[in-house]
Structure 1
Amino acid sequence: MKHNIYLIIITLLFVVSCTQQKKETITQTDNPVVEAPFKYWAWYGAGANVADSIHRNQFKKYASAGIDAVLIDTRADADYLSKVAPLAIKEGLEVHAWMFTMNRPGDTIALKHPDWYMVSRSGKSCFDDRPYVDYYQWLSPSHPEARKHIWSLVEGLAKVEGIKSVHLDYIRYPDVFLPVGLLPKYNLVQNEELPDFDFDYSMASVDKFKKLFGKDITQAEVPAIDIEWKQFRLNEIKALVDGAYDIAHKHGKDLTAAVFPYPEMADHMVRQRWDKWNIDAVLPMIYNNFYNEGLDWVEFATKQGLTDLKAKQTQLHTGLYLPEMTDDELSKAIAIVKKTGASGVAFFDIQESHFEVIKASH
């Protein structure tokens, strides 16, 4: 009799155990984790006076090649975006409002306020003496009114119905160091931080730094080795981005940005530490030819950025510069980016033959 009781108890325990395992299996499979599909992006430099038919044809071309998202150059004009965005959405494209942020060439409101602009260590204001190229007109993130102006532009774009994100470009300081591949174009040697390319020594920035740290940076013998001065500028950009993030999210939109290849490099070259920002997605411009690098560097820079973002929810989509890429190189580059675990790949200036390559890479 005892033997039969033990047998019944063991049988019951076995049934309960199997039932529990089955429940756990059901729980695990009923709600599987769905990974987001690898996304394809294209920056679209839409012209100001372009006919709708031209926009539509371009958007159709993107969609047929398997592009998922288009970053439309809005010039921070919400009315313009409201007219062009529906044309892209109709073709099934996700729309992101691309805007120049700190660099505001020809900004009619900002140009009324010369004190809003960044100033170099050599005393040259971006208002009328621009570094590198004539369209470099950089506003100071330390000037409260300049900052409010930028946030107002973000808000205008964020209010446009149907778009996915406001996309910040030039969200940094002017290039302290150019990519090495571009130096010959400007006949420059940059082995140190040169006064003409070291910003921001505007009154707004210098005074704010002095209040925070009790130092007049204009009197520093070697400002480049003052760690607080460097961190101050990194924090000024972060504050502007974080404010833009709050504005975008208030209107139900994401915030995305085009950034330099990976945070440590961006910090060194343009005072930009994007792994510290509140932001939904970054598109690092891993333009290997600008740096005289091969495709192996695309893998390295992408992985470095992913490592730096490991503790955050921010997505990373690798940006590629296509004009100097062959079809074979593009095919290999896309495969490399997919292999890294990045969330997507973004294309700047797609050449005609590249559309078939992009389509075939899906």
Structure 2
Amino acid sequence: MDSQSDKETKNNAMFFLRLVISNWKLLFGIYAIVGILTVIILLVIPKWYKSDATIVILDENKTSLSSLMSEFSSLGLNFAGGGEVATYIEYLHTNKMYDRLNEEFGLAEVYKAEYREDVYEEIFENLIVTDNENKTFTISYIYKEDPEKAAEIVDFLYQELDKIALEVDKAEASNFRTYIENYYRDIQNNLNADEDSLARFQTRTGILDLEAQLGVTISGLAELEKERISLEIERNYVENAFQNPSRINEIESRIKAITDKIEQLKSTQNNTFVALDYIPEQGADFLRLRRDILVGEKVSEFLRLQYEQALLDEQKINSNLYLVDPPSVPEKRYKPQRTRILFIVMFFTVLLSLFYIRADLFYKNNQQALKELL
């Protein structure tokens, strides 16, 4: 069986060899014409050059916002100040970046694009951004005929990326500062109202203070209320800015646990704590007012420090991108790869020419039968 198969293979090889020898002039002419035309086309079509720049992300922008939200990184939430490469890649592939690039270098005329969307497609195809890991990435741009222009475009992309990243960082810091400022103002208003209520209560009842033992209860409640307010700030900010259900549920669970503990302190009495629910009505009212004021003062002080820190963070935002490997003018063309293209064209020319000769021979040998079928 194997000898029969080998014999058929040899016969087929000899058949094609005789076929090539008998048509060598035709084949040579086809190869010569296709080869010459391919070389001419490769010499005529424009050359494209690619320039590269490597950038490292520095850990410089450490703000109160980034400190508060740093634990969210495991949930996939990215901040510009946090330095995720994917974030910068998204910035590069934005309409704002494409518009700035088109305006600076007149790419609509270069690509002969009638519509802005066509310019976007050309930029997207020629702009390559590679994540090198370890907080570094490479920006590459492919440009026709002008290697110096390719390097200029890459340098421009880096400069504009730095500007956009700074704009985003400053916007985030400003939004966070405004959020804390509004919350701080609300707490101050509530504190002023509580102080006025206490003054009226003291005037009406004549109660100025209670036993020192109650201070332990008030202090413990104040710390718990402070922690709950801090969690509510975090929950509200996450809910408004990121809409992350899993994280919100986690924070609400912690808030509920603290709330339950607060209610326990209010209703449980022992040698250390005095339950507010067992105090006579006027005394309980006095303690509640004092508790609200103490909690308000602690929360107000906490928010004031956060607000001052947010003000400083907003002023000190700076670039955290560093150009490790500046773009250089490429000397070697990126495409077309002439040798490779020529080899591929000649390879398929050989296959198609042999197929044509074999089909032509089959037609000649079976011409009468094919005419009868038709």
- Which of the five TM-score ranges fits, normalised by the shorter chain? under 0.3
Of structures 1 and 2, the larger Rg is shown by: 2
Which structure's relative contact order is higher, taking Cα pairs within 8 Å and 6+ residues apart? 2
Structure with greater proportional strand content: 1
Structure with greater proportional helix content: 2
TM-score, normalising length: structure 1: 0.22
